[in-house]
Homo-oligomer: A and B are copies of this chain.
Amino acid sequence: MAVYTHIDDRMLGDLLAGFDIGRALSFKGIAEGVENSNYFLETETGRFILTLYEKRVSAGDLPYFLGLMDHLSARGLPVPKPVADRGGRVLRELAGRPAAIIGFLDGISIAETTPPHCTAVGASLARLHRSGADFTLRRTNDLSLDGWHDMAEKTLTRADEVEPGLARFIEEELRFLHDHWPDGLPVGTIHADLFPDNVLFTGNTVTGLIDFYFACTDMLAYDVAVTMNAWCFDAGHRFVPARAKALIEQYDMLRGLEPAELDALPVLARGGALRFLLTRLHDWLFPVTGALVRPKDPREYLARIRYHRTVRDAADYVV
């Protein structure tokens, strides 16, 4: 992360005085996430994460993100629940930054996914989409087609530093997506970043869905495509059909995919891959000084787009 805001015992004590969760017993900074400063907090009544939102997260979007977490948590999903203070507020200010205390969830993220993990994440994604259907707030996906054009403008002149021909590849892909991006598919609340980092497991059971700071209102099948890209390729960036079959079939069992959604899946997967190719390319070319997390290689998503270009239709994903 670019900034790690230091919170001392007095600042913490002043904050907790407004809550009904008891005194702090333990408090440690967590080296996780690139957007925010996070602390592990144990009090007399339970375990929490204290998050300070640094400048990469737009403060205006926080009521949406925290509201969604509260909504999903209330419907029984393993989503961190924001804790309200005595005045009913979940969004506070600490060290000049927006801050929130949210529930801590057990579980560990996994490095190498297996079909049973993909079955579990397919089920979680379907439940998230179903439970999000009556969430009333809306947030535009600023990292969809228009956003990609903006990101491409910032990065294309230097894209070939990463791989010769990359700028031209991206331009072609943007043109294709512009011409083929689907319309009229079911829209709802999506996570939009459900990577293995953001799913906690105990064994093969999902115990946590975290990091809702890219959540937005967009096509549900786009979320399926983003999740497939994140979970169904191996460390060598080769597609693993058994994982995709597990994910898509389980999702479909709990939230039936419409034929038009299945038809659009290869195009959505190319779009979802381009989104991460572009943001990773940006972070690679313009690294944040002092970031604890190393920028990820954008070429991992180039390989995914190349694979999706060879797909004839969604049936190829579930062979």
- What residues make up the interface of A, taking CB atoms closer than 8 Å to B? 4, 8-10, 12, 23-32, 40, 42, 104, 106-112, 202, 290-292
Measured CA separation A291–B292 after assembly (Å): 8
Partner of A24, one of B8, B40, B108: B108
Measured CA separation A109–B25 after assembly (Å): 10
Contacts of A23 in B (CB 8 A): 202
Contacts of A31 in B (CB 8 A): 4, 28-31, 292
Contacts of A24 in B (CB 8 A): 108
Measured CA separation A42–B28 after assembly (Å): 14
Measured CA separation A30–B30 after assembly (Å): 4
Measured CA separation A104–B47 after assembly (Å): 15
- How near does chain B come to A163, taking the closest CB pair, in angstroms? 25
Does B27 contact A30, Cβ atoms closer than 8 Å?
no
- How near does chain B come to A231, taking the closest CB pair, in angstroms? 15
Take A110-B9, A292-B4 as given contacts and tell me if A28 and B25 are in contact as well, using a CB distance cutoff of 8 Å.
no
- How near does chain B come to A2, taking the closest CB pair, in angstroms? 11
Does B111 contact A42, Cβ atoms closer than 8 Å?
no
Does A28 contact B9, Cβ atoms closer than 8 Å?
no
- How near does chain B come to A85, taking the closest CB pair, in angstroms? 20
Does B12 contact A108, Cβ atoms closer than 8 Å?
yes
Contacts of A109 in B (CB 8 A): 9
Measured CA separation A198–B221 after assembly (Å): 50
- How near does chain B come to A125, taking the closest CB pair, in angstroms? 20
Does A40 contact B42, Cβ atoms closer than 8 Å?
no
- Measured CB to CB, the nearest residue on chain B to A7 is B111
Partner of A108, one of B4, B27, B107, B202: B27
Does A108 contact B9, Cβ atoms closer than 8 Å?
yes
- How near does chain B come to A283, taking the closest CB pair, in angstroms? 15
Measured CA separation A110–B29 after assembly (Å): 14
Contacts of A291 in B (CB 8 A): 290
- Measured CB to CB, the nearest residue on chain B to A27 is B108
Listed A/B pairs (6) with beta-carbon separation below 8 Å: A26-B108, A27-B108, A29-B31, A29-B32, A30-B31, A31-B292
- Measured CB to CB, the nearest residue on chain B to A201 is B9
Contacts A4-B292, A25-B106, A27-B108 known; list 13 others, CB within 8 Å: A9-B111, A23-B202, A24-B108, A25-B107, A26-B107, A26-B108, A28-B30, A29-B30, A30-B31, A31-B292, A42-B106, A290-B291, A290-B292
